[in-house]
């Protein structure tokens, strides 16, 4: 199924944007999502087909098997235990008797685990609403900012981007390309500039132009790099001088393919600078999509968006029900 859609290789930002322009827009999001989550789906359901086709009876062997699959997909111990225990108790009191009722119950439990993370980002509380984007190198920050700009523009909002990754010249250029692509202004001061100053200027400029949303890029960093974490804290402090509530969203972008490690990184970022939301990227390229369940059980943070590809439309607001339906489809 869908074998004609080939995975793209890592490519330069220019080519990536050109490719994004050609992305077809599908109206059927669930089918799309289901296709994007193919690798995780396979891990979850490998060897389970016989069962879901009703050819295997419901017993503890089956639950053991399901448990292994859930753990392999990085659903994590806590969420897996909840799922298996709940299924077991339903089986014991005969509330589940066939493949269909198990499928329905499994979906219901999985949705209930993810539901608390479904808190869409509302940008109406401030103008400009400032989103500070943080995370490790390569997580997908800049790409996600490009997609986010598109997302907000489609909602009729005006957007301005701040090139706060001043570490490498290429980073500013990459953001500028996304700015061109979306036809939104990009405020930058070039390589080596103080990111706090760039982002401060961007917010001041957005205020004067009556722009709705500022999205600020930052250089990738590890939570162990104290000086770089202090730099993020400084950005937040400086922004607070314009608006005590800014940044209104501190969004970590994390790469799902890092699985439990990404979770650990996010926890450390949260402890160090305080996060208000997450965007989980590259769910299309990994079998570790179950990480969202781990996130739900261990990090008390909203998952605002999920990234399911490299194209401009491949970032979507997180919807727990849609996600589980796509996984179990
Ligand atoms: N397959 C896939 N690739 C992604 C996704 N998000 C970002 N990428 C790719 O990840 C790479 C690094 O992204 P970039 O935005 O430069 O990361 P940054 O260092 O955090 O700014 C690029 O090749 C992106 O196209 C996603 O959701 N799916
Ligand atoms: Mg970047």
**What is residue 238's predicted lDDT score, i.e. its pLDDT?**
96
Q: Are 218 and 235 in contact (CB under 8 A)?
A: yes
- The ligand minimizing its distance to the Cα of 146 is 1
Residue to mutate (ligand 1; options 33, 138, 140; most atoms within 8 A of CB): 140
State the CB neighbour count (10 A cutoff) for residue 321: 14
pLDDT in tens, 298-328: 998 999 999 999 999 999 999 999 999 999 8
The alpha carbon of 69 is separated from its chain's Cα centroid by a whole number of angstroms, namely 22
- Return the pLDDT at 61: 82
Cα gap 234→226, rounded to integer Å: 12
Give residue-wise pLDDT tens across range 155-185: 999 999 999 999 988 999 999 999 999 999 9
Instruction: Check: CB of residue 73 under 8 Å from CB of residue 287.
Output: yes
Q: Which pLDDT band, with edges at 50, 70 and 90, does 14 fall under?
A: low
Segment 51-102, tens digit of pLDDT: 667 666 777 788 898 999 999 999 999 999 999 999 999 999 988 888 888 8
Q: Please give the C-alpha separations between residue 5 and each of 11, 19, 24, 38, in angstroms, as whole numbers.
A: 17, 13, 12, 12
Banded pLDDT at 19 (limits 50, 70, 90): very low
Q: What percent of the chain has pLDDT over 70?
A: 88
Q: Which atom of ligand 1 is nearest to the CA of 11?
A: 23
Give the model confidence (pLDDT) of 200-230 as tens digits: 999 999 999 999 999 999 999 998 999 999 9
Contact 266, 48 (CB under 8 A): no
**59 or 10, greater pLDDT:** 59
Closest ligand relative to 164 C-alpha: 2
Give the pLDDT confidence score for residue 68 in this predicted structure: 93
CA of 139 to the centre of ligand 2 (A): 8
Mean pLDDT within 41-58:
75
- pLDDT bracket for residue 26 (50, 70, 90): very low
Q: Which ligand is nearest to the CA of 136?
A: 1
- The contacts found for 62-65 with CB under 8 angstroms, 24 or more apart, are 63/87, 63/88, 63/91
42 C-alpha to center of ligand 1: Å?
A: 23
Give Cα separations from 300 to 188, 224, 250 (angstroms): 33, 21, 14
Burial 195-224 (b: 16+ CB within 10 A, else e): bbebbbebbebbeeeebbbbbbbbbbbebe
Q: What is the pLDDT of residue 180?
A: 97
Rounded (to 5) percent helix, strand, coil in the chain: 55, 10, 35
Q: What is the DSSP track for 35-53?
A: HHTHHHHHHHHTTTHHHHT
User: What is the C-alpha to C-alpha distance for residues 100 and 227, in angstroms, rounded to an integer?
Assistant: 54
Residues with a CB atom less than 6 Å from ligand 1: 10, 16, 135, 137-143, 220, 253, 281-282, 284-285, 307-310, 314
């Amino acid at each position: 199924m869908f074998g004609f859609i080939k995975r793209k290789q890592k490519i330069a930002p220019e080519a990536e944007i050109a490719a994004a322009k050609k992305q077809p827009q599908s109206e059927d999001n669930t089918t799309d999502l289901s296709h994007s989550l193919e690798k995780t789906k396979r891990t979850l359901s490998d060897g389970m087909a016989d069962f879901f086709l009703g050819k295997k009876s419901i017993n503890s062997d089956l639950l053991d098997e399901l448990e292994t699959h859930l753990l392999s997909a990085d659903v994590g111990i806590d969420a897996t235990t909840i799922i298996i225990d709940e299924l077991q108790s339903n089986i014991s009191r005969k509330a589940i008797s066939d493949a269909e009722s198990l499928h329905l119950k499994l979906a219901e439990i999985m949705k209930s685990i993810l539901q608390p993370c479904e808190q869409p980002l509302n940008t109406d509380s401030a103008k400009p609403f400032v989103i500070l984007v943080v995370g490790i190198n390569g997580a997908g920050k800049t790409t996600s900012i490009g997609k986010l700009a598109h997302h907000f523009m489609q909602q009729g909002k005006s957007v301005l981007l701040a090139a706060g990754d001043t570490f490498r010249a290429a980073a500013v250029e990459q953001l500028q390309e996304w700015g061109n692509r979306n036809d939104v202004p990009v405020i930058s001061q070039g390589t080596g500039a103080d990111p706090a100053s760039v982002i401060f200027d961007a917010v001041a400029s957005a205020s004067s132009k009556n722009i709705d949303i500022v999205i600020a890029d930052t250089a990738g960093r590890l939570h162990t790099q104290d000086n770089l974490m202090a730099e993020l804290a400084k950005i937040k402090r400086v922004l607070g001088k314009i608006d005590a509530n800014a940044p209104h969203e501190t969004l970590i972008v994390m790469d799902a393919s890092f699985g439990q490690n990404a979770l650990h990184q996010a926890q450390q970022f949260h402890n160090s600078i305080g996060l208000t939301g997450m965007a989980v990227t590259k769910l299309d390229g990994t079998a570790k999509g179950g990480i969202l369940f781990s996130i739900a059980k261990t990090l008390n943070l909203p998952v605002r968006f999920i990234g399911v590809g490299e194209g401009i439309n491949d970032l979507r607001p997180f919807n727990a029900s849609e996600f589980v339906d796509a996984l179990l489809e």
